[in-house]
Amino acid sequence: MDKRLLCFGYGYSARALAARLVPEGWHIVGTTRSTQNFDRIAATGVEPLLWPGTDPRTLVQEFPNVLISAAPEAGRDPVLDVLRDAFQAAAPKMRWVGYLSTTGVYGDHQGNWVDERSPLNAQMERSRARIRAEADWLGLSDLPLHIFRLAGIYGPGRGPFEKLRRGTARRIIKPGQLFGRIHVDDIAAALELSLEAPAGPAIFNLTDDVPAPPQDVIAFAASLLGLPVPPEEPFEDAALSGMARSFYNDNKRVRNDHAKRTLGWKLIHPDYRSGLAANLALAER
């Protein structure tokens, strides 16, 4: 296997993948918008690349594996906007291309189960932009593309603990509302398995096994910390920003069977209880 990976957008999920691959001898290049991030990226064993600011076309031609975790900007995919021709030219000799999308593309299914074949009913513009980006990437011929639709991401340094400690965590109650979640370590594990068996194109949902009401997650996290459980607030009466309120527009359960069956993926953290307990244990070391 050619162990070279180019990451457009070296963010939270890409760092978790690099933590698995670098010890295995992978050469990884990760893009950043600022040279101020170079030292932090290099400390993870990854070569930083300023982009926009440098031309990565040569790397697109040379690197057989590419991960795109950059989100759409102004409704358009920032990588394809600039490098569509480069990717199309390189596609026949590429080994693997991963695109990190979101389960938000499914929109609202009134709490019912969805899988990779379900209609994409997204009404929020940020999720509709993801649908367009997926279609644009799938539109490139001969590209060995794997699309990963991620549920709500959490992991070390990202979760409810700090809000609880600050006293800003809230338990908003909307009856019947469920969210899927995915620990960043499980994302990295799925991506590594995909890299080992790069058949494509393919689409995979990456989510845990237990869709759960958000108030239950907050209550469990509070119990782990030994802090009071925040009071319940009815959704109809809660003062929320437009962005925060929009997250409650969609209600669905997302299946992950396809990723398990096809990639041999086994969840490290099959539910939020396992993931949050692991995060707290890591933070307390």
Condensed to tens digits (0 to 9), the pLDDT of residues 138-173 reads 999 999 999 999 999 999 999 999 999 999 999 999
Six-digit token string for 91: 């596609």
Six-digit token string for 205: 């949902």
Q: pLDDT > 90: what percent of the chain?
A: 91
Q: Is residue 61 part of a domain?
A: yes
In degrees, to the nearest 5, what angle opens at C-alpha 160 toward C-alphas 157 and 163?
Answer: 95
Q: Is residue 64 part of a domain?
A: yes
Task: Encode 105-162 in three state secondary structure.
Answer: HHECCCCCEECCCCCCECCCHHHHHHHHHHHHHHCCCCCCEEEEEECEEEECCECCHH
Q: Rounded to whole angstroms, how far apart are CA atoms 129 and 212?
A: 26
Cβ neighbour number for residue 235 with a 10 Å cutoff: 13
The answer to whether residue 200 scores a pLDDT higher than 80 is no
pLDDT at site 256: 98
Q: Which residues of 260-284 are buried (b: 16+ CB within 10 A; e: fewer)?
A: eeebebebebebbbbbbebbeeeee
Q: Is residue 278 part of a domain?
A: no
72: domain CATH number?
A: 3.40.50.720
The answer to whether residue 4 scores a pLDDT higher than 90 is yes
Number of domains in the chain: 1
Q: Is residue 172 part of a domain?
A: no
> 0.75 cut: is pTM over it?
yes
pLDDT at site 46: 98
Q: Is residue 13 part of a domain?
A: yes
Domain of 118 in residue numbering reads as: 4-156+182-208+254-269
* Distances from the Cα of 77 to the Cα of 31, 130, 183, angstroms: 15, 8, 25
pLDDT at site 135: 97
pLDDT at site 1: 83
Q: Is residue 26 part of a domain?
A: yes
Q: Is residue 18 part of a domain?
A: yes
| The residue type at 48 | P
Q: Is residue 218 part of a domain?
A: no
Q: pLDDT tens, 7-62?
A: 999 999 999 999 999 999 999 999 999 999 999 999 999 999 999 999 999 999 99
* Distances from the Cα of 194 to the Cα of 27, 148, 189, 204, angstroms: 17, 10, 9, 10
Q: Rounded to whole angstroms, how far apart are CA atoms 37 and 15?
A: 13
Q: pLDDT tens, 217-251?
A: 999 999 999 999 999 999 998 998 988 888 899 99
199 Cα distance to chain centroid: 20
Q: pLDDT > 70: what percent of the chain?
A: 100
